[in-house]
Structures are given as structure tokens and as C-alpha cells.
Amino acid sequence: MKFLMIGMGGTIASVKGSEGYESVLSAEDILKISRIKVEHEIEFLDLMNIDSTLIQPSDWVKLAKEIYKRSSEFDGILVTHGTDTLAYTASMLSFMVRGISIPVVITGSMIPLTERNSDAPLNLLTSIKFLEKGIGGIFVSFNGKIMLGVRTSKVRTMSKDAFESINYPVIAKLENNEIKILHKPNLTISDLTLDTRHEPKVLVLKLIPGLSGDIISKAIEVGYKGIIIEGYGAGGIPYRNSDLLETISEVSTTVPVVMTTQAVYDGVDLMRYKVGRMALRAGIIPAGDMTKEATVTKLMWILGHTRKVEEVRELMRKNIAGELTRVS
């Protein structure tokens, strides 16, 4: 088998310098230092070498184009990436590169490879073992788990078990140095497609007591094309002593307003409570059980194709890349 390893930087590529950890190791350095024995041909490509906090939407386009261009040459692609924006990258790749028949696995580490007790070797080994299985799609490998990329979210800031599969089964686990498949994703079969159109001007607001509608009005005034509100629990918009619901009702016909939840699991259900039903009547688009990363990247991707709110609403409620189980 022949694999491509693409380096993007991050903790896994970092060494300690005078101002803290900095990404400097190449993809080839990473594999060499990990001392993992690989019985396959591996080609290396350093696309960039940066802290993932610095990742921008234009970098997603660059990575998506490279994966699309090179996918026919390899049996699998491994991407090493910083953890802070890893789930955003995995989600956006799922929309930009659809119908891929080879496994694309994104991984990183919480502890630099050069440090004692680094989790990088485990994550790399899990990734390579899964590449050997040949299951097509975009995946994340972390702490011995393989997760569908568009369902993965970072839930811990320090633990080696930093990522979890949200509202979706774990795809596989590493047991006794072998991959055990637990769930085969039921993805729509289609031809390989590259579609990198997107609109990065999306704003995420966390709902808190006292939030007023003027921030939404101002965001639209300065050019934001979509608004995502992280609501409480199952979802809803306050209307008592607040102009927030009124403002949303006024703008939602021209700018899509999407609601997700601050909770990690189960998603939103705007039919459950009166405050949720009022939000629906005001024009809110429910994110269903999508992760926050999938919600953000999906809205960006859709807005790259249409600005018509009803078309955005229809596409946000459609399962495009395995990101969505239900909407209510």
C-alpha cells in the first residue's frame, strides 16, 4: 500500500523554544521520531507548519485541493494537525471533498512528540492501522479511537482523550495494536467531488442572560452573512424583557440565523418547549444534532453556494456528509 502524509503543524510537530512550543518538525521528522514501523511506502508533504490557532478558511481550501488532487495516487492519506481547530478542519473537508473512496485520517497530539509520555505515537499508529482498512471518508484519530470527521468535537483542553464522537458511534478502536471496526458509516455514495466555495463571514454568539438584539443587527451591518446562536439546552430564544426574539424575527428573512446548543450531546429540539417553537416562528433554523464545528463549517459552505434564506434552511436541514441525524 502507498500512503501520503501531509504535515500541517500543531503540537505534534512542536518543540520547546524561548517563547513556548512552536511547530517546526516536518511530516517525515514526525514519523521518524515516533519510531513506528511502517511496512508501506509513504510520501511526505509539508503543506504548512503552524499552530492550528492560526488556521484560516483559506487553509481548508488549500488542504482540500491537495487531498482531491492526490487521492488517486494513494491508498490513504494521513494529515497531522494541531488540535485546537482540528475538528473544524475535519468538518469542512467533509463538505469540500465528498465521495472520496480512500481513508483520509486527521490526527495530532496533546503532548509534543519530543516530550516524555507523548500521545503522538499512539495516535499515529491508530491512524496508520486504520488507513490499512481502506474505508473511504474523512476521519479523526485520537486516543486509540477513529471517529467520523464531521461528527468529531474537541471536548477537553488538556486530556489525551481530547476528542469525542458526538451523537454518532465511534467508527473503530485500536485494541492490541490492531484496529477493530465498530461501525461502518452509512455515507451517500457519490463520485469524488471537490467543492471549496464558502463564505467565512459567519458569526457565532453564545446566548447568555441579558444578550440583546443589537449585536445581531450590528454584525449584519458590518457584513456578516450568517449568524449561529449557541442556545441553552434543547434551544429557545428569550422574549421576556429582551428584544432578541424581535430582532431575529426582523432579520431572519434576509440573513440565516441558526440555533445550536451549548450542551455537548443530543442537539437542539425546538419543538420541545414554547420558547423553542417561538424561535422557529421567528425564523430560526435548527442545527439538529450537529456538532458546533459541523454547524459552523456547513453554514460557511452553504453560504458559498446560496444567500437565499429558504435555500440555506433546506440545505442546513439536509444530511450532506453524515453530519446530521435529525432536525426538529
Task: Enumerate the active-site residues.
Answer: 83
Helix (H, G, I), strand (E, B) or coil at 15: strand
Q: Where are the beta strands (DSSP E) in 10-150?
A: 14-17, 20-23, 41-50, 76-80, 97-98, 103-107, 137-142, 145-148
Alpha carbon separation from 102 to 42, 134, 190 (Å, rounded): 15, 6, 13
Residues 257 and 226: their CA atoms lie apart, in Å, by 6
CB 323 within 8 A of CB 294: yes
Which among 148, 113, 85, 118 has a CA at the least distance from the CA of 25?
Answer: 113
- Cβ distance 205 to 308 under 8 Å? no
DSSP H or E segment with residue 244 = helix 244-251
Helices (H) and strands (E) in the chain, counts: 9, 18
Q: Which H/E stretch holds residue 230?
A: strand 226-231
Tell me how far the alpha carbon of residue 49 is from its chain's centroid: 19
According to DSSP, the residues that pair with 235 across neighbouring strands are: none
Q: Give the integer Cα–Cα distance in Å for 277 and 328.
A: 10
Helix axes 86-96, 292-303, angle to 10 degrees: 40
Burial class (CB in 10 A: 0-12, 13-18, 19+), 244: buried
Distance CA 23, CA 80 (A): 11
Burial environment of residue 16 by CB neighbours within 10 A (0 to 12, 13 to 18, 19 or more)? exposed
